[in-house]
Chains A and B, each alone.
Chain A
Amino acid sequence: MLAAGETGAEPDTAGAALAELCQTYWAPLYSFVRSRGHTVHDAQDLTQGFFAYLLEHKVYARADRQKGRFRSFLLASIKNFLSDAADRERTLKRGGAQDFLPLHEAQVEQAESLFQTHSGRSNEDRLFDRSWAEALVAAGLERLSSDYKHQGREQLFNELKIFVAGGAEPPPTYGELGDRLGITESTLRSHVTRLRARYREALRAEVRRTVDSEAQVDDELRELLHVLTRA
């Protein structure tokens, strides 16, 4: 189902990779727990507790590879976890497992803000999927942004990002932007093409971590897109 949980992987490696994935997709889980009516603090504790449970009990190793996506697996698992009163009580009693996955305050605030933005307009599953899509594209953009930063081309990335991420304002014409950056239109087009290709690869690489096959990458992206755009 996910590379991290594959039987061939070393247990520590699998655990570490899973922990990294959990870190990336903490916000969707938190949103889901919040949508079940838990308070901010309880939701933090429960989310942390869920991941601790997942990692400690190696639940991922029992997952059926044929069932596919890590997203569906996590959603089903958190539902089970929350429905298990004993687990929930135990987690809340010990204050969650706050240290299990290190969390930044900003990360928690962002997750809460995301929940507040969408909570009135979606059911809990859709809210989870939407938050998942947010986390996914954020991870893809972060990968790309780091690459550009590493090459000392952060400014170029910021200027061109609108061509993949859209925005309220229409993108500038190639001519306008080329003049502003001091490069020719053809060079700018080439930069944009490359940025798109690299973003595409970064996003697909991120999805690939959570599915079994290249074909599922397309399916996963289509499904998330459908969730976002359906009436």
Chain B
Amino acid sequence: MGTPLSPGVAVCSLCGEPLNAKGDCLACLLRSGLEQSGVKTKRSALVFGDFEVEQDAEGQYRELGHGAIGITYVAADKVLRRRVALKVIEVPAAARGSQAVRERFLREARAAAALRHPNVAAVFQFGASPDGIHCYYAMELVEGETLGTRVRRDGPLNAKEGLKIAIQITRALMAAAAHDLIHRDLKPSNIMLTTESEVKVIDFGLAKAITDASGEMDLTHGEFVGTPTFASPEQFRSGPVDARSDIYSLGATLWFALTGLAPHFGKTLEEIRDRKTRDDLPVAQLAGRNVPEPLVKLLRSTLAIDPGERPASARELMEALESCRRKLTRRVGVPYEEPALRNEAFARALTDARACASDPESLQALFDMAARKAAAVPRKPFKENWAYLQTMLRLIRACHRGEYHQVSDDALLWIIAALKYLVDPLDLIPDKTPFLGFVDDASVVELVKEKTRRTLDDFMKWETTAR
């Protein structure tokens, strides 16, 4: 059947073909590539308490993910008849049968089950197999994808998206803090992004509670459990961790979201640990992605090696994130990375202006509103634009009263559009641009000025003469 063998050539115990120099069977290895991806016959039911793991058309258990500490399946709740995400964890041998471990798991599980928050995937039920080998808990089945999947598919997020996600994760951490619960394994694959772009943090506390329970899971035993890339430096040491560990992991997750890379990585646990505790943060990665400075500063603080140098709590982190968001918004006036949206808004304003120009009542209403808002807005921060707006209002007033006629229909349209853009930002731009906040919106401002400069100059000359 096979190739004639030289004396002494080892053969595969499974198929009788000769082994290669490494002792592997090439034929078996090639056949594996030709195998069907699964056994087509239906497999035996995998049941944990009230939950039965779903199988796909090929009879494979439907997995949502698997990590170092367990497998998450799609399962059916046979009692309540709903689909859930079922995490099944094999309890470490050292922890089986331990009353202390069981009590700790129950304590954590109750806390996790009590945690109800829009940004946390709810835990419905938990239990253990009769032999104590497996623990499991059923969670809300979140439709969507993980942050890790999103970034790997679409590339890094921009600062605004990253901040939005970080803020929602922090809300989840604040809710958890109220239950004395910490996550301990925050990472991109534990952040679900729903189809409505909401964040749901999954696996709160429970998974690590079980696996850490034997108390001897450290590097010296080669049994670090979880995802070292996103773990805090203190998680590599034995001993308790607190909420600041989650804050570090959130920082590493946000870093990944903004760059597509983890701040520290390596081939071994030791290498990752050493880099986390020794190396400077590779901030060049952030610069390469044009991450704004306030966000870089925030990442530096969340990723401080010493927990004492990080935000002390989720609440403190939230304040830092909100401050960061304010700085970014202020820095660029209107929503910072959405020039296209602003241009679109102005284009809409221009279209609206045509209708407005032909309807005296609408024009009067716009004029009144613009005058009212202009009067209410402090002059100083927007000095140049404020003066510009006042000139436009005077021009419209003069036109309206029939005192001034030297304005072309086209120029009038541009002026009306500029007014609409300025006074109706709430309607035009979903992000609620602050009134006159177009101070840095160079593209729109320059466009309007270019189109109206001569008209306004002529008008101001007329004003001078008329007086």
Give the B-binding residues of A (Cβ under 8 A). 113-114, 117, 121, 130, 133-134, 136-137, 140-141, 149-153, 155, 164-171, 182-184, 187, 190, 194, 196-197, 199-200, 203-204, 207, 217-218, 221-222, 224-225, 228-231
User: A231 with B90: in contact, given A170-B13, A200-B32 (CB under 8 Å)?
Assistant: no
User: A149 with B267: in contact, given A134-B20, A167-B19 (CB under 8 Å)?
Assistant: yes
Give the A-binding residues of B (Cβ under 8 A). 1-4, 6, 10-15, 17, 19-21, 23-35, 37-38, 61, 66-68, 71, 90, 92-93, 133, 222, 224, 228, 267-269
Within 8 Å by CB of B33, from A130, A140, A182, A190, lies A140
Complex: how many Å from CA A170 to CA B24? 12
For A230, what are the chain B residues with a Cβ–Cβ distance below 8 Å? 3
Complex: how many Å from CA A196 to CA B6? 30
Complex: how many Å from CA A167 to CA B11? 7
Complex: how many Å from CA A107 to CA B12? 25
For B29, what are the chain A residues with a Cβ–Cβ distance below 8 Å? 137, 140-141, 164-166, 199, 203
Nearest Cβ on chain B to A190's Cβ, whole angstroms: 7
User: A196 with B34: in contact, given A168-B11, A228-B17 (CB under 8 Å)?
Assistant: no
Complex: how many Å from CA A167 to CA B16? 10
- In the complex, are the beta carbons of B2 and A231 less than 8 A apart? yes
For A218, what are the chain B residues with a Cβ–Cβ distance below 8 Å? 34
For B23, what are the chain A residues with a Cβ–Cβ distance below 8 Å? 167-168
Nearest Cβ on chain A to B232's Cβ, whole angstroms: 17
Complex: how many Å from CA A118 to CA B247? 58
- In the complex, are the beta carbons of A166 and B14 less than 8 A apart? yes
Give the residue among B26, B28, B92 with the most A Cβ atoms within 10 A. Answer: B26
Within 8 Å by CB of B19, from A136, A140, A149, A168, lies A168
Give the residue among A133, A170, A171, A229 with the most B Cβ atoms within 10 A. Answer: A229
- In the complex, are the beta carbons of B21 and A168 less than 8 A apart? no
For B269, what are the chain A residues with a Cβ–Cβ distance below 8 Å? 152
Q: List 12 A-B contacts (CB under 8 A).
A: A133-B30, A134-B26, A137-B24, A165-B24, A165-B29, A166-B19, A168-B13, A171-B13, A190-B71, A203-B30, A217-B33, A229-B2
Nearest Cβ on chain B to A89's Cβ, whole angstroms: 34
- In the complex, are the beta carbons of B11 and A225 less than 8 A apart? no
Task: Rank and list the top 4 A-B pairs by shortest CB-CB distance, nearest first.
Answer: A166-B25, A166-B28, A203-B33, A166-B12
For A200, what are the chain B residues with a Cβ–Cβ distance below 8 Å? 32-33, 35, 37
Complex: how many Å from CA A150 to CA B93? 24
User: In chain B, what residue has the closest Cβ to A218?
Assistant: B34
Nearest Cβ on chain A to B54's Cβ, whole angstroms: 15
Complex: how many Å from CA A203 to CA B30? 8
For B19, what are the chain A residues with a Cβ–Cβ distance below 8 Å? 166-168
Nearest Cβ on chain A to B188's Cβ, whole angstroms: 15
User: In chain B, what residue has the closest Cβ to A207?
Assistant: B33
For B25, what are the chain A residues with a Cβ–Cβ distance below 8 Å? 165-167
Within 8 Å by CB of B1, from A130, A169, A222, A229, lies A229
For A207, what are the chain B residues with a Cβ–Cβ distance below 8 Å? 33
Complex: how many Å from CA A22 to CA B34? 24
- In the complex, are the beta carbons of B17 and A196 less than 8 A apart? no
For A152, what are the chain B residues with a Cβ–Cβ distance below 8 Å? 68, 222, 224, 228, 268-269
- In the complex, are the beta carbons of B30 and A225 less than 8 A apart? yes
- In the complex, are the beta carbons of A204 and B21 less than 8 A apart? no
Complex: how many Å from CA A136 to CA B24? 13
For A184, what are the chain B residues with a Cβ–Cβ distance below 8 Å? 90, 133
Nearest Cβ on chain A to B4's Cβ, whole angstroms: 7
For A171, what are the chain B residues with a Cβ–Cβ distance below 8 Å? 13-14
Nearest Cβ on chain B to A172's Cβ, whole angstroms: 11
Complex: how many Å from CA A187 to CA B71? 10
- In the complex, are the beta carbons of B34 and A222 less than 8 A apart? yes
Complex: how many Å from CA A140 to CA B30? 10
- In the complex, are the beta carbons of A221 and B14 less than 8 A apart? no
Nearest Cβ on chain B to A107's Cβ, whole angstroms: 14
Complex: how many Å from CA A222 to CA B26? 12
User: A121 with B4: in contact, given A134-B20, A152-B269, A168-B23 (CB under 8 Å)?
Assistant: yes
User: In chain A, what residue has the closest Cβ to B2?
Assistant: A229
For B93, what are the chain A residues with a Cβ–Cβ distance below 8 Å? 182
- In the complex, are the beta carbons of B27 and A225 less than 8 A apart? yes
User: In chain A, what residue has the closest Cβ to B227?
Assistant: A151
Complex: how many Å from CA A151 to CA B93? 20
- In the complex, are the beta carbons of B24 and A167 less than 8 A apart? yes
Nearest Cβ on chain A to B80's Cβ, whole angstroms: 26
Within 8 Å by CB of A166, from B1, B13, B66, B67, lies B13
Nearest Cβ on chain A to B222's Cβ, whole angstroms: 8
User: A228 with B267: in contact, given A166-B13, A187-B90 (CB under 8 Å)?
Assistant: no
User: In chain B, what residue has the closest Cβ to A113?
Assistant: B21
